[in-house]
Chains A and B, each alone.
Chain A
Amino acid sequence: EDKVVQSPLSLVVHEGDTVTLNCSYEVTNFRSLLWYKQEKKAPTFLFMLTSSGIEKKSGRLSSILDKKELFSILNITATQTGDSAIYLCAVEASLGNYQLIWGAGTKLIIKP
């Protein structure tokens, strides 16, 4: 059965700290891995990763995929209180299987 596991489930850090969120997966015919940030309602898209070892970066956020070990990490440097959210990881299987398979999310709380 396809599954996505995120760790930790929750994390509390202080402003300015660096955090690393983990996502491991077991999916038949992997196509891509996506990271989303969910604050109150709509998950907002962060990154889509398809190739191993290529870091994607957006400001203080970065992410990388390891297709051999079947995991991805999301790094946030110099955290701010606005980074407090649930970070969701989802995996797309190959063309022909259109659903996203989601992890349970990591709840990140940044204390001032």
Chain B
Amino acid sequence: DAGVTQSPTHLIKTRGQQVTLRCSPKSGHDTVSWYQQALGQGPQFIFQYYEEEERQRGNFPDRFSGHQFPNYSSELNVNALLLGDSALYLCASSFGLQPQHFGDGTRLSIL
């Protein structure tokens, strides 16, 4: 039973560029949430997708956008990258009221 998978594992970009991160949820899960985790901190909620719609959004600017596909997989897009966007980006999937399960994340470094 495949868990949550994220790609790529690592990514290096320069300021001003755009990036797309991908997530495949655990089998049987229909909800995908994205988090940003800076070094030494807990994850910060970016947004959650359910039924291909953004269901809730955290305190992140419009540069952060996402998408969910009919097979429940999801993408996170970040435009006009800033140095402060360097972080571990975690995807979590869930079904109903069950706990979220996390992928290994994408480590994004901005130079």
Is B104 an interface residue, CB under 8 A from the partner?
yes
Which among B41-49, B61-69, B78-86 touches the partner chain? B41-49
Rounded to whole Å, the gap between the CB of A92 and the closest CB of chain B is 9
Of the stretches A63-71, A76-84, A94-102, the one at the interface is: A94-102
Quick one: closest B residue to A4, CB to CB? B42
CB <8 Å contact, A41 and B105: yes
Q: Is A28 in the interface zone, CB < 8 Å from B?
A: no
Q: Which residues of B contact A36 (CB under 8 A)?
A: 102
Q: Which of B42, B45, B56 counts the most A-chain CB atoms under 10 A from its CB?
A: B42
- Determine whether the beta carbon of A48 is less than 8 Å from that of B99: yes
Inside 8 A of A34's CB, which chain B residues have their CB? 99
Q: B11 CB to closest chain A CB, in angstroms?
A: 14
Q: What size tier do the contact residues of chain B reach?
A: 20 to 34
Measured between beta carbons, the chain B residues less than 8 angstroms from A104 are: 40-42
Chain B: minimal CB distance from A10 (Å): 10
B94's closest neighbor in chain A, by CB?
A98
Most buried by B among A36, A48, A104: A36
Q: Is the CB of B102 within 8 A of A42?
A: yes
Q: Which of B16-47 contact A (CB under 8 A)?
A: 31, 33, 35, 40-45
Whether B102 lies near A100 (C-beta < 8 A) is no
The 10 A-B pairs with the shortest beta carbon distances in the complex, nearest first, are: A102-B42, A99-B45, A41-B104, A42-B102, A42-B104, A98-B56, A45-B99, A43-B102, A98-B48, A104-B42
- B-side residues, CB < 8 A to A, are 4, 31, 33, 35, 40-45, 48, 55-56, 58, 88, 90, 99-105
